[in-house]
Structure 1
């Protein structure tokens, strides 16, 4: 019985630690970008040689980074795809716009995960679609620092050619959520439930005669 109890204690410590790490990771630093950080990020983006890596609106990006409040946010993205992928380097036979976007998305999801950010919703169906949008995607970011880290990566700059080849037009809204839960709150809930369950089991075991704790 002592061996079983020790094992349960170990499992609790491991699970508790993992969940705590997830909570801290998904919370981020919540420290706004400094002026020096903004300049460093913009400098790295401007130096990217990939085409179309330079398709950032640098003026708008500077305003976005300089007004950082350190808080998480969501991007609400609307896309209309080209019927056929339109690459700026002229390559042909690269499939449809949707297929090109899927190539970009496969890279982007990995980059998001590295920054503890994630897509939270996506759909190809919209009831009132007067603008002929093909896809809606909502993405959660821990901070503006994290999206800047993605933008300066070579993987993003390389994959951006697929994104721009895929899109006929797009719209993006930057919002801060009031009711959409971040993953950290799910991890925190599991943390509380795990602790409560462990305490209850420990009390039950303590009330049983002959049990060694």
Structure 2
């Protein structure tokens, strides 16, 4: 194989990755906002979300990715499975929801950016509600607000929502847009990985072309 073709293939694969990972549809249109809001009012589980707050978030769509900051309190000890009644840990119960959700999220180029255990209480806070005892935090990447609404309003998650409610007595989620980030994301890792493969492949081809090899 020609070395140039090897690098061209790496570039082609990376462009394909960007085609999937980036949002190319632009911001939500007013018609789409109305569509998703109406789907929410048809009974799709949405917790205690204020419709007016959600509507403003959708109407201000900039078409870019965003990261949902989630603070979660899990039940301590065993809790009954909402289907079988069997006592299980809250993590086991929650997996009934997350196993399907993460698969659907990944198909839409979403993924966890950070997940961490909470190891202390509020150490610097004022004029906020009392800490309910957060257990974990997650920073979830969404390709677009459109993708987030497709997931939230997907009827496939309606049955799985009961596992989320059973495992989590309190949760708090707020969308964010990064201002500074020193962590390499999938765009950089994909570029570095493909570049490394192409470089090693080029070296192998050069060695094979050496006389006496």
TM-score (norm 1): 0.75
The residue number in structure 1 matching 2:120 is 128
Number of equivalenced pairs: 201
**Cα distance in structure 2, aligned partners of 1:70 and 1:157:** 27
- Residue from 183, 187, 192 that aligns with 2:190: 187
Aligned 8 A contact 1:122 1:138 in 2: yes
Q: CA deviation at 1:82?
A: 2.5
**Cα distance in structure 2, aligned partners of 1:67 and 1:209:** 63
Aligned 8 A contact 1:53 1:158 in 2: no
Once the two structures are superposed, the pairs formed by residues 42-191 of structure 1 within 5 Å of their partners are 42-48=37-43, 52=45, 55-83=48-76, 84-85=78-79, 92-93=85-86, 95-124=88-117, 126-130=118-122, 131=131, 132-177=133-178, 178-179=180-181, 180-191=183-194
Q: CA deviation at 1:202?
A: 6.8
The residue number in structure 2 matching 1:39 is 34
**Cα distance in structure 2, aligned partners of 1:144 and 1:44:** 15
Gaps of 5+ in 2: 123-130
**Cα distance in structure 2, aligned partners of 1:54 and 1:76:** 16
**Cα distance in structure 2, aligned partners of 1:182 and 1:156:** 28
Worse overlay, 191-200 or 161-170: 191-200
Aligned 8 A contact 2:68 2:140 in 1: yes
| Higher share of residues assigned helix | 1
Gaps of 5+ in 1: none
TM-score (norm 2): 0.75
